[in-house]
Amino acid sequence: MSALLSQLTAGLDDLAKAPTPAMSGKVLRYDGLILECTGFPASPGAICHVETEDGEGVHGEVVGFRDGRNMLFLDTPGARIVCGAKVTRKDGGHNAMMGEALLGRVIDAEGQPLDDGSVPVGDVKWPLAGKVQNPLARQPVDSVLDVGVRIINSALTVGRGQRVGIIAGSGVGKSVLIEMMTKNTNADIVVVGLIGERAREVGAFVGHIMNGENAHKTCVVAVPADRSPLLRLRAANRATAIAEYFRSKGKDVLLIMDSLTRCAHARREIGLALGEQPTAKGYTPSVVSMIPTLIERAGPGLKGEGSITAFYTILADGDDTNDPVVDTARAILDGHLVLSRKQAQMGIYPAIDIPQSVSRVMNDIVDKDHQRAALKLRRMVSMYMDNRDMMLMGAYTPGQDPELDEAVNNWPRIKNLIQQPVDEKSPFPESRKAVLALSGGSIG
Ligand SMILES: Nc1ncnc2c1ncn2[C@@H]1O[C@H](COP(=O)(O)OP(=O)(O)OP(=O)(O)O)[C@@H](O)[C@H]1O
């Protein structure tokens, strides 16, 4: 017995004397963005500190290793790094601290405050890349999430756990729409990821949503366009991780990611810098795999958990709705809202193009009367919009097509249903009543 004990003690002593693996290396190659250093144990996603000539130091994320060397993508492109500079591994690359302290706060990709408050201190460690869930164990999407926007609640009803794209060109009212949802939803928690937007816009947007009645249950993660692509992707992961954390606590979370396209651009920048082959519109294969990975993290939770209802804004450059990001996202999302420039030009806001938009879960979560009324509204809008040019030319004569006549006669009421000022809230029961009243269903 005593021999075994002394053997064990000796073993422990040896272990204590063994050299700990070096957690630092020296810069060998640097092209202004990607850095290679002598290898040390660090998996992709780990954060390292790199010494700079001016003594400030910068951070980089390990994106891989090759021939025994670590490759880092820097969060400060063009930093003054010299050959042989020291690279040291830091903690905190893979996890983030979560807790109630995040609510009512605006933070950056690293979890540092962008508002006037102190660093929000969480008490639970959560992986930034998310926790893998058994898809079969997830709850179904079977109840309505009230987003407070009449046309969405009534004609494109969103379910708790649904993932929806907002596809739009520039300046057609995306930001105002997400501001309305953020302020008016009845979700328990709202998480907004502002990724790669203009800094001025970020400030204005945060100012608006953090003054609403939902501000106390809202967390914003913001990284403007001028920051490194790495930070932009980190912010998207952090926002999703925060939503996952609150879902695991049984909360129904509304996650808004503005924009998925800028996340794709960030991934493209990193992929190209690492030598990936560009495909359509310069997007690299890693972009196509990143989009489903990010979107699949949202959705309903496991039994006893809450849900993440997610909206991803997708920029249709030049109003091209066949963009690869639009295509990839549309295939995996459970619905999309297309914002129409034509409708915005007519001054009808929110400029949601009803015939082109779809909520794939609506029929599972609303009653039959509501479904019929929404379908009728869709037909009337489509009829009116398709024949509008003819009417403007004076070629429309009533009495030739009863469906078109009905759409024309109802147009002022349809417009009233769609139009909603920024500061107006339209709860789900009221929105449902409005569409049933318009389409002649029983309101009951
Ligand atoms: N519900 C609304 N009621 C009245 N006006 C609106 C509404 N929604 C949008 N607008 C008008 O549309 C303009 C553009 O909206 P917004 O800034 O949301 O567009 P965007 O698509 O986010 O633009 P960008 O692509 O530049 O970020 C607003 O300044 C406002 O005049």
Domains in the chain, please, with CATH?
Answer: 23-89 (2.40.10.170), 95-361 (3.40.50.12240), 370-439 (1.20.1270.330)
Task: Using pLDDT thresholds of 50, 70 and 90, give the confidence band for residue 403.
Answer: confident
Of the listed ranges 72-81, 241-250, 349-358, the one predicted with least confidence: 72-81
Tokens read off for 55: 């003594």
Minimal-distance CA residue to ligand 1 atom 6: 349
Answer yes or no: is the C-beta of 170 below 6 A from any ligand 1 atom. Answer: yes
State in Å: Cα 340 to ligand 1 middle: 12
* pTM across the whole model: 0.88
- Going from the Cα of 182 to the center of ligand 1, the distance in angstroms, rounded, reads 15
Distances (CA, A) of 209 to 34, 213, 271: 37, 9, 34
- Report how far residue 262's alpha carbon sits from residue 278's, in angstroms, rounded to the nearest whole number: 17
Token code pair at residue 315: 């920029």
251 has a pLDDT exceeding 90: yes
Q: Are 145 and 309 in contact (CB under 8 A)?
A: yes
Could you report the predicted ipTM of this complex, rounded to two decimals?
Answer: 0.94
Is residue 159's pLDDT more than 50? yes
**Residue 315 beta carbon below 6 angstroms from any ligand 1 atom:** no
Band the pLDDT of 353: cuts 50, 70, 90: very high
Handedness of CA 248, 150, 401, 394 (dihedral sign): negative
352 within 8 A of 156, measured Cβ to Cβ: yes
Closest by alpha carbon to 60, among 69, 23, 71, 236?
71
Question: What is the whole-number distance in angstroms between the Cα of residue 177 and the centre of ligand 1?
Answer: 8
